[in-house]
């Protein structure tokens, strides 16, 4: 099970099991009084699944004016190309961004070089990029 986080989401999107990903943060959000309990709680580019919907406290979004609902989200593993020589389930490695510019390589906003990750599961298939073999793996940032 991934990291659990309580955040806010619009009433329309608050559906148990729904997957969400935050790709960018509007400037208006950064100055909102709810920022630290809303979008400020999630990591850019990461995939989350809504695990629980909590009772609304009547908060409104500064941008849309819509009702915001507290939800518990679970951070899901990332699928990342890992150099074949480092691909071993269960190990913790330092992500080096060796796959930069290759298909399936996460952006630096999603996973930064130097960040520790745990390889949870190796997936079928491989990616060849710049002559180097990469294995697709589900990983959890630590």
pLDDT digits (tens, 9 = 90+) for 17-53: 999 998 899 999 999 999 999 999 999 888 999 999 9
Among candidate residues 130, 128, 124, the one with its CA nearest the CA of residue 138: 124
Among candidate residues 42, 32, 38, 123, the one with its CA nearest the CA of residue 79: 123
pLDDT higher than threshold 90 for residue 97: no
Among candidate residues 120, 141, 133, 130, the one with its CA nearest the CA of residue 82: 133
Pairing of the two strands 4-10 and 68-75: antiparallel
Among candidate residues 65, 58, 52, the one with its CA nearest the CA of residue 7: 52
pLDDT higher than threshold 80 for residue 74: yes
- What does pLDDT average to over the chain? 91
* This model's pTM is above 0.85: no
Taking the C-alpha atoms of residue 110 and residue 118, their distance in angstroms, rounded to an integer, is 15
What average pLDDT does the segment 69-82 reach?
Answer: 94
Query: What percent of the chain is predicted at pLDDT more than 70?
Result: 99
Domain borders along the chain are 4-75, 78-141
Provide the pLDDT for residue 104: 78
């Amino acid at each position: 099970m991934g990291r659990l986080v309580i955040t806010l989401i619009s009433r329309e999107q608050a559906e148990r099991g729904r997957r969400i990903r935050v790709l960018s943060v509007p400037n208006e959000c950064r100055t909102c009084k709810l920022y630290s309990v809303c979008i400020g709680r999630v990591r850019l580019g990461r995939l989350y699944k809504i695990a629980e919907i909590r009772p609304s406290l009547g908060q409104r979004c500064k941008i849309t004016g819509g009702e915001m609902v507290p939800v518990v989200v679970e951070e899901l593993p990332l699928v990342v190309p890992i150099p074949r020589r480092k691909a071993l389930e269960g190990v913790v490695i330092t992500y080096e961004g060796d796959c930069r510019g290759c298909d399936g390589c996460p952006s630096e906003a999603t996973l930064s070089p130097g960040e520790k990750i745990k390889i949870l599961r190796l997936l079928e298939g491989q990616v060849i990029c710049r002559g180097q073999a990469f294995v697709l793996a589900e990983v959890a940032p630590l």
